Structure 1
Amino acid sequence: MDYNKNYIEELFDSEVYRRLGDVEKDRVTRIYLYKLSEMERKHSEIWKEIAISRGIKLGKLKWYHKWKLNFYVIFRKIFGLELTTKLLENGEESDIKKYYELSKSEELSEEERQKMRELSVDEAVHEEIISTVKSKDVSDFVYGISDGLVEVLAATSGLSGAFNIPFLVGISGLIIGASGTLSMAIGAYLSTKSEKEINEHKRRKIEIQKLVDRKEVAKKLSMILTELGIKENIASDISPQLVDVAEDIIAPKVEESPKKSAGVTALSYISGAVIPIIPYLLGIGGLVGVISSYIISGIAIFIVGYLIGLLSSVNPAKKGVEMLSLGILAAIGTHILGLLASYYLHI
């Protein structure tokens, strides 16, 4: 068992959350981050205590740990807190399992095994705290980049097969990207606006129902609570007490702005759309232009796929490879169609 490694890992995690807390503007989130930092610090103290009892000398955080700390702070500023915590907690499930396994280790005393059981519970609590950190804007931005990137890569790949003029391919790609941006932005605006209007209508209806028949509203609340897994008798008992806030339970207020949603969607889509056309706008044509576009787009698709993997709590590397494969296959398919169009239509 590597006592020093376990100690350093917990010490590093404590410092990361402290640094993230230092730059966090939201007061509640900052408190969460400081709590996590303190939790990890206590874990490191437990490992320190165990190591000292065995006469093992412990190390300190080294230069590369400090480099990683700075990396996470910069990553947080670019991609937001949700993605940063997802990246940090990518191996947290294995930590829960690790401490559970250590709680049965013969290398440790009964008292130390009990501490490992407590650490396993702490890591599970840790995971629950992290799951409260959400940022819809960051998620929407990442998915928007993915849409623009893959769609315009496929389109420009097909155009490059049909036309051998790189600037024409680049301008065509820009036009496709611009039209896609407008379409996506309008769709996001209308979708958010519609959701907000429907939600407000529901809230007004509930407010009127509260004035007319509070018992009927209590029944609806009881049904909702039962569907959430609360026992029927308990739901029936507490629902009358929740009637005054019924609209917040049945139809929670939508805070998202339609204009903001449209702006985030537009910016993210065009950011992804620009990447595949860069080589063509630089005048790189032919096979070199196609390969250059595939390479820079492939790198971008993998990164976006990795981030989507983090957001959706699946294997990030696997998700990155999956998106890369599908994106390149789509591009190759449309490129072949472009070549066929050029050959048969004599473009």
Structure 2
Amino acid sequence: MVKTIKIFLPLIAKNRLKKGILERFLNKNEYKLHMDYNKNYLEELFDSEVYKKLADAEKDRLTRIYLYKLSDMEKKHSEVWKEIAEKRGLKLEKLKWYHKLKINFYVFFRKLFGLELTTKLLESGEESDIKKYYELSKSPELSEEEREKMRELSVDEAVHEEIISSVKSKDVSDFVYGISDGLVEVLAATSGLSGAFNVPFLVAISGLIIGASGTLSMAIGAYLSTKSEKEINENKRRKIEIQKLVDRKEVSKRLAGILTELGIKENIALDISPQLVDVAEDIIAPKVEESPKKSAGVTALSYITGAIVPVIPYLIGIGGLLGVISSYLVSGIAIFIVGSLIGLLSSVNPTKKGLEMLTLGISAAIGTHLLGLLASYYLHV
């Protein structure tokens, strides 16, 4: 039920969003227009095909419906551009081989990193599309009817962005952040150890022990955290069920308050809240579906995956300065990739986030390496 609401609420609310949604995405900077009918047509057609391919491969029924809806929306946008171009006697191109290659890349990326990261990557320029269509709605090159269509497309893109932002996958985000933790912590540790010991095998074994220790610690923490969250949630649901038996009116008031906070007018919230009392616990305290064991498993697997990367050069016998450089190189590449993925998850520029994490991770490793050198010098190791 909750998943269905998350998927379709933005579509149901589209008309209510029309008055104010554009202001959320537009700023005072003028958007530079490029009236390239063929380019705009191909971009929309490409997005439509990507969502269709993702939907075809999707197993979850509700998610599949959601993806087909997005595909239809983008297809409608391409048809608008086709109609406008044909009025001007312009011939539009078809998707080329490299477009199809990119489509297959997104399908492959989805298999590796999940739907959330795929849609974030695909829609990383969505805000620019909102601005583009808003500015096109004022273009003198278009007729009044065409400008009205551009306004509708701008609203569509804003609603589209709202739908995309509702796609969340805790497993994917936990896995990415877990890899990041393992990478940075074990890189720093092995860097410090390599400064103290010039034996690759000892550095590798020590790094793996630190990685294993961190994996157990993180897994136990994730298990206890999820278990505690579920217990608190179940306790809250039991209290609501008891309150429903004792005082349904009070539960109705609580529901009305929640609906009002969601933006529903108070008089409407008061009218519909009594009808929702029977499912009050699902609204006030939705079930925590996540399994503590699964959470612990995802955390453990992600952490140890990241922890192994800095150790690889030492495991194959590379020591000394070459070992340090090799470890930094493979870890640096991995940190940048993970940072970019975190950027996508948090709607931050992926390249900027990747470079930021790379700088911080390498800085931590260098600092620890210097400590290792000092330990080696003063302890005569």
Please tell me the TM-score bracket, short chain as reference.
over 0.9
Q: CA deviation at 1:118?
A: 1.3
User: What is residue 336 of structure 2 aligned with on the other side?
Assistant: 302
CA distance in 2, matches of 1:273, 1:167: 16
Moved more, 297-306 or 244-253: 244-253
| SS of equivalent to 2:123 | helix
- The answer to whether the Cα contact below 8 Å between 1:29 and 1:133 also exists between their aligned partners in 2 is no
CA distance in 2, matches of 1:163, 1:184: 27
Q: CA deviation at 1:228?
A: 3.8
**Equivalent position to 1:187, from 202, 221, 233:** 221
For residues 1-347 of structure 1, what are the structure 2 equivalents within 5 Å?
1-347=35-381
Structure 1, unpaired ranges of 5+: none
Show CA shifts across 1:25-45 (max 9, x none). 011111111111121112112
Query: Amino acid of the residue matched to residue 60 of structure 1?
Result: K
Moved more, 44-53 or 215-224: 215-224
CA-atom RMSD in angstroms: 1.4
Query: Amino acid of the residue matched to residue 278 of structure 1?
Result: I
Moved more, 73-82 or 218-227: 218-227
- Count the aligned residue pairs: 347
Question: Taking structure 1 as reference, are residues 290 and 43 closer, same or farther at Cα in structure 2, changes over 3 Å only?
Answer: same
Q: CA deviation at 1:242?
A: 2.4
Structure 2, unpaired ranges of 5+: 1-34
- The answer to whether the Cα contact below 8 Å between 1:203 and 1:247 also exists between their aligned partners in 2 is yes
CA distance in 2, matches of 1:246, 1:99: 41
What TM-score, normalized by structure 1, do the two folds share? 0.96
Q: CA deviation at 1:231?
A: 4.3
CA distance in 2, matches of 1:128, 1:316: 20
CA distance in 1, matches of 2:334, 2:303: 13
Show CA shifts across 1:219-254 (max 9, x none). 333343344444444444433332222211221111
| SS of equivalent to 2:140 | coil
- The answer to whether the Cα contact below 8 Å between 1:145 and 1:271 also exists between their aligned partners in 2 is yes
Show CA shifts across 1:255-289 (max 9, x none). 11111111101001100100011001011111111
Give percent identity, aligned residues only.
87
CA distance in 2, matches of 1:176, 1:185: 14
- The answer to whether the Cα contact below 8 Å between 1:222 and 1:239 also exists between their aligned partners in 2 is yes
